Amino acid sequence: MNKKSFLFVANWKMVLTAQQSMNYCQEHISDMTKLSEATGNSIVLCPSFPMIGAVNYLTIDTPITLGAQSCSSFAPGAYTGEVSAISLAEFGCKYCIVGHSERRHYCHETDEDIARKVRHCLLAGMAPILCIGEVEDEAIVIKTASILDEQLSLLSDYVIDLGINETRTIWIAYEPVWAIGTGRLPDSHYLHEIYDMLEPIVSKRVPQGFTIRYLYGGSLTEENIESITNIGTIDGFLVGGSSLDFQKFKNMISLCV
């Protein structure tokens, strides 16, 4: 039986400066290339907007893929300060994170905003990485199921009319808000239950014809990542803080073989 390969998405958030982003790539792209080839795992780098062009240039002709941390919920037009999905795709982005809890909280993005972003990503040829998750006082499986269902409730309205030529893969990243940056990983029993109930929710909210893949994110480290690789529906990981330290990131990827 072939081993499972995982997608590792490095979300650098607004942590690295432009020079630090350049240094990271110049110092580690060669090692990342070897790591991807040796493990069979795929690596996606999501720098801040100003560094997308530079990171794209530095990763050309490597297996490392480029992603964006967000995009506009609007089509190209008179929206000062916004960045369209199609522009990101033209710069080489193959993936785009949408609906991250920090965007929902700090930028007040709604489920409708996020569903619109998913649509624009698909139309631009990018695979959206749609983040969903509950806050701590909702961290009961039955209640969480309702929260996640609500967060996905408008998705069908915005993708149902897309043609067969558009990108048909949507990545669902389950990130419990109470785990992000806290060092607290949900126990494997809880995660098994969450992913088991996610599939029927997603199948209800996403029209037929789309491929759905699942990620986990939230306080992932080299010490705990192996404990959740046996959850069958998890196809990869959305990694925040641990992706900023290349040795930690490398160890995490190396463990998932």
Over residues 40-88, the pLDDT tens digits come to 999 999 999 999 999 999 999 999 999 999 999 999 999 999 999 999 9
What's residue 183's pLDDT? 87
What is the spatial distance between Cα 195 and Cα 192, in angstroms, rounded to a whole number? 5
Q: Is residue 89 situated within a structural domain?
A: yes
What's residue 233's pLDDT? 94
Q: Is the Cβ–Cβ distance between 148 and 193 less than 8 Å?
A: no
Q: Is residue 103 situated within a structural domain?
A: yes
Residues 6 or more apart whose CB falls under 8 angstroms from that of 232 comprise 195
pLDDT-based confidence at residue 128 (cuts at 50, 70, 90): very high
Structure tokens at 92: 């080489």
Report whether pLDDT(22) > 70. Answer: yes
Q: Is the Cβ–Cβ distance between 188 and 227 less than 8 Å?
A: yes
What's residue 2's pLDDT? 53
Q: Is residue 134 situated within a structural domain?
A: yes
Give the global pTM: 0.96
Residue environment code for 112-144, b if the CB has 16+ CB neighbours within 10 A, otherwise e: ebbbbbbbbbbbbebbbbbbbbbeeeebeeeeb
Q: Is residue 129 situated within a structural domain?
A: yes
pLDDT-based confidence at residue 98 (cuts at 50, 70, 90): very high
Total domains present in the chain: 1
Find the range with the poorest average confidence among 1-15, 107-121, 212-226: 1-15
Q: Is residue 1 situated within a structural domain?
A: no
Q: Is residue 33 situated within a structural domain?
A: yes
What's residue 164's pLDDT? 76
Report whether pLDDT(5) > 60. Answer: yes
Tell me the average pLDDT of the chain.
95
Pairing, β 169-174 against β 93-98: unpaired
Find the range with the poorest average confidence among 132-136, 149-153, 214-218: 132-136
Residue 218: count of CB within 10 angstroms of its CB: 25
What is the SS3 assignment for 94? strand
What's residue 1's pLDDT? 39
Q: Is residue 248 packed enough to be buried (19+ CB in 10 Å), middle (13-18) or exposed (0-12)?
A: middle
Q: Is the Cβ–Cβ distance between 231 and 191 less than 8 Å?
A: yes
Q: Is residue 2 situated within a structural domain?
A: no
What's residue 205's pLDDT? 96
What's the CATH number where 34 sits? Answer: 3.20.20.70
Q: Is residue 111 situated within a structural domain?
A: yes
Q: 103: closest CA among 75, 68, 150?
A: 68
Range of the domain at 212: 7-255
Task: Report the catalytic residues.
Answer: 100, 175
pLDDT tens digits, one per residue of 144-182 = 999 999 999 999 999 999 987 778 999 999 999 999 888
What is the spatial distance between Cα 100 and Cα 175, in angstroms, rounded to a whole number? 8
Q: Is the Cβ–Cβ distance between 147 and 188 less than 8 Å?
A: no
What is the spatial distance between Cα 251 and Cα 17, in angstroms, rounded to a whole number? 24
